[in-house]
Amino acid sequence: MTSSENNKPVGVAILGLGTVGSQVLRLLGEHETDFTARIGGEVQVRGVAVSDASKPREGVDPSLIIDKPEELIDREDVDIVVEVIGGIDYPRELVLRALRAGKSVVTANKALVAAHAAELSAAADEAGVDLFYEAAVAAAVPVVGMLRRSLAGDKIVRISGIVNGTTNFVLDAMDSTGASYEDALAEATRLGYAEADPTADVEGHDAASKAAIMAALGFHSRVTFDDVHCEGITGITAADISAAKEAGQTIKLLSICERIVDEDGREAISARVHPTLVDRSHPLASVSESYNAIFVESEAAGQLMFYGNGAGGNPTASAVLGDLVGAARNKVHGGRAPGESTYADLPVADFGQVTTRRQIDMTVRDRAGVLAVISQTFSEHGISLQTVRQEAAENGARLIVVTHAAREHEIAETIDALGGDDEVLSVDSVIRLAD
Ligand code: NDP
Ligand code: HSE
């Protein structure tokens, strides 16, 4: 029986009342009448689960607060569970408990979805309920819905861009104001952009979870966090940022998901996250602060760009509430959103098979014949050079080499060989270049 048939309000449990949960609760209360009209029935918050029930919560009805999420989920008058706690193992238990009890789930938890989408989707299918996670990728930017619904009739070939607000904030602050890495990260944390443990942001794990979700949805295949090659921004130094600036470039942490053809001629998926040099004229170069931008290339639609607020309480609450409206409408009027689609079953390519372009910055001996020796090392590994620039340096000479596209394993072997080359004093930085 739907809620409209028995005229009962839709009961909602909110698990978590931190940066995101507090804004979800506030906006639900402030726009109650609008939500009722949009859904076609009333929504009532039955309770809010937190870890410390004794903490003061300004503006929150204390009778709603509970520190036992399981009790809240199990209440008969709860129809939809909103999970905004974070982490993987415990929220997995809670979400499965809700789904198995026939309650729809809305979550903002990319780490959970990227690790356990198969199990969670199967539980939702079995119970015939919704599992929504729009907020899990790029917060307010509607990427999940676009991939899951709007482009479901098209063939997507590439999804790329900036999907982590914290690292974009840090790199942008280092570039535009000369802020230190530590100060910029502290500010991003204060503003509520970073994960509970910001290591997830700076090591690229958060972006990798989002890449897994985007690749799975876009390519109708199973892609998990472990399938994504992931490099964060902890190795990026102030010197890298200023060298990029001098060369008319900036550094961004990009997530790239694409269909590739591997060395055996089979179609496969590449999903990767790594710092990337971007020309200042590139549209991604102007994506500042915690903003996100995602490009999608598909067969029929061509190129699409999505841009907006990718982190923080309000933007994330916007996406959570959109999902809540969708799930509540289905409770009121009946029906269910389509589940996941993994029919294409494309394999994930080994990272070594992926082709990228690199900029290699090294210090070499300043003497005749050095360039010839170094060019030889590249050509022995099948890599052709696009540009070579030499500058005077304190010890020896600085050589900045840009390669044409080459397979990752060829580049890795070349860098190893350069390290053992007598003419090379040090390989100072190796950064991939945007297409
Ligand atoms: P916070 O750390 O700010 O809030 C976490 C909330 O969960 C707190 O209210 C905390 O309780 C509660 N909690 C923690 N452990 C438990 C537990 N064992 N039982 C019950 N409640 C618990 O996290 P965010 O709001 O920033 O993030 C929540 C989720 O949203 C994460 O999955 C995150 O990845 C995702 N997300 C976050 C975005 C952001 O910009 N912040 C953007 C997009 C997604 P207490 O208040 O007592 O400490
Ligand atoms: N920590 C995440 C970010 C939150 O900075 O992008 C949004 O998913």
Give the pLDDT confidence of 307-335 residue by residue, as tens digits: 999 999 999 999 999 999 999 999 999 99
Predicted pLDDT of residue 203: 98
* CA proximity to 83, closest of 96, 74, 65, 102: 96
378: alpha, beta or left, given left = phi > 0 and alpha = psi -120 to 50? alpha
Q: Write the pLDDT tens digit of every residue in 39-54.
A: 999 999 999 999 999 9
Point out the catalytic residue in the list 210, 245, 252, 331. 210
- Confidence check: pLDDT of 395 > 90: no
The SS3 call for residue 415 is: helix
Contact 74, 98 (CB under 8 A): no
Give the pairing of strands 302-309 and 291-298. Answer: antiparallel
Q: Measured between alpha carbons, how far is residue 90 from residues 49, 94, 118, 195, 359 in Å? A: 13, 6, 17, 16, 42
- Confidence check: pLDDT of 6 > 70: no
Q: Write the pLDDT tens digit of every residue in 278-294.
A: 999 999 999 999 999 99
Q: Write the pLDDT tens digit of every residue in 256-272.
A: 999 998 778 899 999 99
Predicted pLDDT of residue 325: 98
Burial of 11 (0-12, 13-18, 19+ CB in 10 A): buried
Tell me what the mean pLDDT of segment 240-258 comes to.
95
Measured by CA distance, the residue closest to atom 39 of ligand 1 is 312
Predicted pLDDT of residue 187: 98
Tell me what the mean pLDDT of segment 229-255 comes to.
95
Predicted pLDDT of residue 2: 62
Cα 84 to ligand 1 centroid, rounded to whole Å: 5
- Confidence check: pLDDT of 7 > 80: no
- The Cβ of residue 153 has, within 10 Å, a number of other Cβ atoms equal to 9
Geometric angle at alpha carbon 229, from 196 and 134, rounded to 5° = 50
Predicted pLDDT of residue 218: 98
Give the pairing of strands 267-279 and 424-433. Answer: parallel
- Confidence check: pLDDT of 192 > 60: yes
Predicted pLDDT of residue 394: 86
Mean pLDDT of the chain: 96
Tell me what the mean pLDDT of segment 222-236 comes to.
97
Q: From CA 273, how far away is CA 262, in angstroms rounded? A: 19
Q: Is the CB of 310 under 6 A from ligand 1?
A: no
Predicted pLDDT of residue 373: 92
- Residue 200 alpha carbon, nearest atom of ligand 1: 34
Contact 215, 257 (CB under 8 A): yes
Do the annotations mark residue 313 as ligand-binding? no
Predicted pLDDT of residue 365: 95
In this prediction the pTM is 0.96
Q: From CA 113, how far away is CA 118, in angstroms rounded? A: 9
Domains detected in the chain: 10-139+313-333 (3.40.50.720), 146-309 (3.30.360.10), 352-433 (3.30.70.260)
Predicted pLDDT of residue 264: 82
Q: Quick one: pLDDT band at residue 435, thresholds 50, 70, 90? A: confident
- Residue 168 alpha carbon, nearest atom of ligand 2: 5
- The Cβ of residue 179 has, within 10 Å, a number of other Cβ atoms equal to 18
Please list every protein residue whose CB sits less than 6 Å from any atom of ligand 2: 139, 164-166, 193-195, 201, 206, 310-311
Tell me what the mean pLDDT of segment 378-383 comes to.
95
Predicted pLDDT of residue 1: 61
Measured by CA distance, the residue closest to atom 44 of ligand 1 is 108
Predicted pLDDT of residue 4: 54
- Confidence check: pLDDT of 79 > 80: yes
- Confidence check: pLDDT of 175 > 80: yes
In sequence order, which residues have a C-beta less than 8 Å from that of residue 350 and are 6 or more positions away?
262
Catalytic (active site) residue 8: no
* CA proximity to 360, closest of 404, 396, 407, 423: 404
Cα 166 to ligand 2 centroid, rounded to whole Å: 6
Write out the DSSP string of 49-85.
Answer: E-S-TTS--TTS-GGGEES-HHHHHH-TT--EEEE--
Predicted pLDDT of residue 393: 87
Do the annotations mark residue 15 as ligand-binding? yes
Q: Is the CB of 198 under 6 A from ligand 1?
A: no
* CA proximity to 308, closest of 193, 103, 172, 165: 165
Q: Write the pLDDT tens digit of every residue in 18-46.
A: 999 999 999 999 999 999 999 999 999 99
Question: Which of these ranges, 75-79, 105-109, 118-122, 338-342, has the smallest mean pLDDT?
Answer: 338-342
Q: Is the CB of 192 under 6 A from ligand 1?
A: yes
Burial of 255 (0-12, 13-18, 19+ CB in 10 A): buried
3-state helix, strand, coil split of the chain in percent (to 5) is 40, 25, 35
Percent of the chain with pLDDT over 70: 99
